Structure 1
């Protein structure tokens, strides 16, 4: 076992223990409803709704926030797909099958049951929540709670391991930070050309 494998093994063991612990609640309808809210189409509709509301109210701050949310979600989705299509990992709901392994392995599977890592729900929900919280810091706590709930709901429904969710959150945060940096750079370039 390599040093990296030895370092990752406790995380993988914790993933398996968590899946065993959530078995009694995995079919609870609350988690399915939360999963629906954190899915790509619903988050895109939310972003479009914020843009539309900003346009109707002639609130450029709100409209730009919606655009930033959509850009962060799009980047997070692309990044998640890039990783997901290079690493194979079975979903936690397949853990009892003797033919499956919960470990991460290089691969290019596009089968849903083989693409657990990372969580797209967590990446998207985190990116959207962080983009909104950055524009409206007075709402950062509720936005953060919403993003966290949508991300963590993937664990008890056995759609993702905790490490899948953690990786998704990291992708969401990085994607939103890149979008924020691009917006700030663009604003700086525009202001320097106008002066």
Structure 2
């Protein structure tokens, strides 16, 4: 029982910290520069990232560049896995988005709501951006820094936009990172089987 109490205390402390950060940053959400950065961060939404990843894969196949095609395949696989994990979690936890929490009050509980205002946890934009950035970094190390900066920017702008809490972004990043590792491990194993003839 002590473990359960410790876990509850930890969750409560994280939620309290999330709300403090949100209250501090939320006044910036209507500033033009935050709104514009938020608009640009939408490139990390599911449809654009799927289109970009598939586009890289197809381009690699068309121009017969195995490395480009492999990068696109890794991007797509990592993003789809991250999206699946993120969606499963989102559908099991109802958590008020920060902008809604500021106006209507905060709540977080097990649930299955599909309402946008109750789908804060975890950040899908962050999960997708990190998954794709890590996939590109694996295949093209020269692009690692700019891709990781892109993912960090996508994640961080969610805070002053009042779209996600800090813990939403942290968990989203962890999902993206782990999804890319898992997808790449599966791809590498498949490539080894194909090249070994087994």
Judge same fold: TM > 0.5, yes or no.
yes
CA contact (8 A) 1:85 1:110 kept: yes
CA contact (8 A) 1:38 1:151 kept: no
Q: TM-score, normalised by structure 2?
A: 0.90
Is the partner of 2:190 in helix, strand or coil? helix
> 1:103-118 counterparts in 2 under 5 A?
104-118=108-122
In structure 2, distance between residues paired with 1:91 and 1:31: 19
In structure 2, distance between residues paired with 1:62 and 1:191: 19
> 1:65-144 counterparts in 2 under 5 A?
65-98=71-104, 100-102=105-107, 104-144=108-148
**Between Structure 1 and Structure 2, which shows a larger proportion of helix residues?**
2
> 1:1-195 counterparts in 2 under 5 A?
2-27=5-30, 28-98=34-104, 100-102=105-107, 104-193=108-197
Displacement, 1:21? 1.4
CA contact (8 A) 2:99 2:162 kept: yes
In structure 2, distance between residues paired with 1:29 and 1:113: 18
Is the partner of 1:45 in helix, strand or coil? helix
In structure 1, distance between residues paired with 2:19 and 2:35: 22
In structure 1, distance between residues paired with 2:196 and 2:61: 27
Per-residue Cα deviation, 1:18-39 (whole angstroms, up to 9, x for no partner): 1111123212322321332111
CA contact (8 A) 2:90 2:122 kept: yes
In structure 2, distance between residues paired with 1:117 and 1:29: 21
- How big is the alpha-carbon RMSD for the aligned residues of Structure 1 and Structure 2? 1.6
Corresponding pairs, count: 192
Runs of at least 5 residues in structure 2 that lack an aligned partner in the other structure:
none
